[in-house]
Amino acid sequence: MRTELRVLDPSIWDDWYGKLTLAFGGVPEAPEESALWRELTECERSIGAWDGSDIVGTASLISFRLSVPGGAIVPAAGVTMVSVQATHRRRGVLRAMMRRQLDDIRAAGDEPLAVLTASEPDIYGRFGYGAATQTAYAEIDTTQVRLSVPEGTDDVTLRAVAPEAAVEACEAVYARRVPARPGMLERLRGWERVPLLDPPGERAGASPLRCVLAESGGEVSGYVRFAVKPDWDLAGPKGAVVLRDLEALDPASYAALWRFLFDLDLTSVIRTGPRPVDDPWQHLVSDIRRCAVRLRDSLYVRLVDVGAALAARTYPAPVDAVLEVTDPFCPWNEGRWRLSGDAKGASCERTTDAPDLRLGARELGAAYLGGVPLTALAGAGRVQEVRQGALTEAATAFASPVAPWLPHNF
């Protein structure tokens, strides 16, 4: 039968989501997880691919707001809950859903960007999504690594609070951090509950989620959410601290929270969740080699409207360059664009002038948040310099002084 795409009827969400779960291995989620995802699903922006009476594909969009270089918060469509049943792979179902999503985003005209996290990195490049951020994971041997903290750390007070009781304080800190780092998402209504998800069946032997607040000058200046996984051998305790998330407004509060984690009794290692690649803790430790840092791709960015997206961010160095963009999946972006801007603002308009650089939509998405240098893409043959010197100028302007980072998946 011919596959048909339909907007999700809220009354069949359970069936639709069940097919998504099946495509990702078929292991049912905890009731509190599925209940939260049901609440966060924007059914009017979700679609199912139907083969007769069967749902064989799912895809959804979430209305996000994303921090970009310069501190602006830009509307972005979050692509999520994408799946195709094993019986219908390689039949154009995914391509049709990607086509429908980007056409819908463009038609609405409100979101110049689409973003996603990829279950498999090889999938989305052909649709113009570029890997724009990396995330760092670490396993820190706290029996061998010492922490050196800045002046003022001893003045910070720490207070243990139940995670649910600390949500408002934590979210106030998080909100102040969003403009400071590209790639972070504003927490829209309901999303503040995502970091609190803690199903017992997914703890892998660790404790329930815990929370500690840092306070400085009588105000909350940071927080950490974590769990402890006890372990013992003949030599004694060797438990693990499982770090879920940590944010702070100043170096002393940040260091105080890390010192607290290092000093937890009966533990010998800190296993971090996703952290920025330039996370300052790496400059507090005595031996980075004993921290087993590893990197992974994270947020993928796609420019739906090249002109609006490039004009939405600022550039730390002046730029005036004509970009010749190829974009076969979204041909409305193809052509030459003159980007002019600096730290105060930018404009990006169509032009017939000779190009300075040639690149594809995937490369533009990868470079957009300032974490992937245009020079590195050029070294891989994916960006071409036409005017001598244009590559260095553009690469300097596109760079972000702070590494872009996505705090959590969606």
Residue 6 carries which side chain, given as an amino acid letter? R
Residue 82, marked binder: yes
254 in active site: no
Residue 148, marked binder: no
Residue 84, marked binder: yes
Residue 83, marked binder: yes
Residue 90, marked binder: yes
Residue 190, marked binder: no
Q: Which of the following is catalytic: 64, 124, 254, 262?
A: 124
Residue 95, marked binder: yes
**Three-state secondary structure readout of the chain:** CCCEEEECCHHHHHHHHHHHHHHCCCCCCCHHHHHHHHHHCCHHHEEEEEECCEEEEEEEEEEEEEECCCCCEEEEEEEEEEEECHHHCCCCHHHHHHHHHHHHHHHHCCCCEEEEECCCCCCCHHHCCEECCEEEECEEECCCCCECCCCCHHHCEEEEECCCCCHHHHHHHHHHHHHHCCCCECCCCCHHHHHHCCCHHHCCCCCCCEEEEEEECCEEEEEEEEEEECCEECCEECEEEEEEEEEECCHHHHHHHHHHHHCCCCEEEEEECCECCCCHHHHCECCHHHHCCEEEECEEEEECCHHHHHHHCCCCCCEEEEEEEECCCCHHHCEEEEEEEECCEEEEEECCCCCCEEEEHHHHHHHCCCCCCHHHHHHCCCEEECCCCHHHHHHHHHCCCCCCCCCCCC
CB of 139 closer than 8 Å to CB of 148: no
Size of the chain, expressed as the number of residues it contains = 410
137 in active site: no
Residue 345, marked binder: no
Q: Which two structure tokens, joined as six digits, stand for 197?
A: 């998800």
Q: Which of the following is catalytic: 174, 262, 300, 410?
A: 410
Contacts of 175 (CB under 8 A, 6+ apart): 186, 187
- Which sign does the torsion angle of CA 329, 37, 110, 399 carry? negative
User: Which residues fall in the annotated binding site for acetyl-CoA?
Assistant: 82-84, 90-95, 119-120
User: Which residues fall in the annotated binding site?
Assistant: 82-84, 90-95, 119-120
List the catalytic residues.
Answer: 124, 410
